Amino acid sequence: MRKFIIASNNKGKLDEFGRILDPLGIKVVTAKSEGLVLDDVEETGTTFSENAFIKASAAFKKTGLPSIADDSGLSVDALGGEPGVYSARYAGENASDEDKINKLLKNLEDVPFEKRTARFICSICCIVDEETVITAEGSCEGIISEKPCGSGGFGYDPVFLVENGRTFAQISSEEKDKLSHRGKALRELSEKLSSLK
């Protein structure tokens, strides 16, 4: 198995990356599990793809190992695309998922159900070596529910309703991989990595 460092300590992301890249003989590990420390990187990009590159690049420089990073977030039409690249920091620097969801629902309080359209967007950057940088992107359309439902997933999953009328927090990991922005981006990445061999 080849090791790829993921520039994240998010357990949910690690699991999703692992499920899709494992069949390629790629073991996704955190820097921490390898006894390495990644510095906090300032995400100064104005797009998801810029931020993904900033994070992957910092991890690659620090570890010398193939590095993979994603930047993803929620774009809500009624809020002009917010929270967008600020999805993780939407309710402040150390806010919990619950805080972020509460702020989002408060901002959508008077918006009728049919106007609560949104999409999750995921941009992935994988730096295999000095010459090889691979990017992939995926998105998933949905509607923001009026209250959180389900106990699975992470982030905004409990309020993101997908086509089957359930939230990301109510569906299995396998279903989520098929539908989700990250699942789509990871499959694209997986195809691109396969063609390198």
102-144 pLDDT tens trace: 999 999 999 999 999 999 999 999 999 999 999 999 999 999 9
Looking at residue 24, its pLDDT comes to 87
Token digits for 127? 């730096």
Q: Which stretch of DSSP H or E encloses residue 178?
A: helix 173-179
What is the percent of the chain with per-residue pLDDT over 90, rounded to a whole number?
71
What are the pLDDT digits (tens) for 40-94?
888 889 999 999 999 999 999 999 999 999 999 999 999 999 999 999 999 998 8
Looking at residue 111, its pLDDT comes to 97
The answer to whether the beta carbons of residues 123 and 139 sit under 8 Å apart is no
Looking at residue 142, its pLDDT comes to 97
pLDDT category of residue 197 using cuts at 50, 70 and 90: low
Q: What does the pLDDT average to over 170-176?
A: 90
Looking at residue 184, its pLDDT comes to 94
What is the model's pTM?
0.88
d(CA 171, CA 177): 10
Q: What does the pLDDT average to over 10-30?
A: 88
pLDDT category of residue 101 using cuts at 50, 70 and 90: very high
Q: What ranges do the domains of the chain cover?
A: 2-194
Angle at 162 between CA 158 and CA 168, to 5 degrees: 30
Q: How far is CA 90 from the centre of its chain?
A: 15
Looking at residue 3, its pLDDT comes to 92
Annotated catalytic sites, by residue?
71
CATH assignment of 2-194? Answer: 3.90.950.10
The answer to whether the beta carbons of residues 176 and 6 sit under 8 Å apart is no
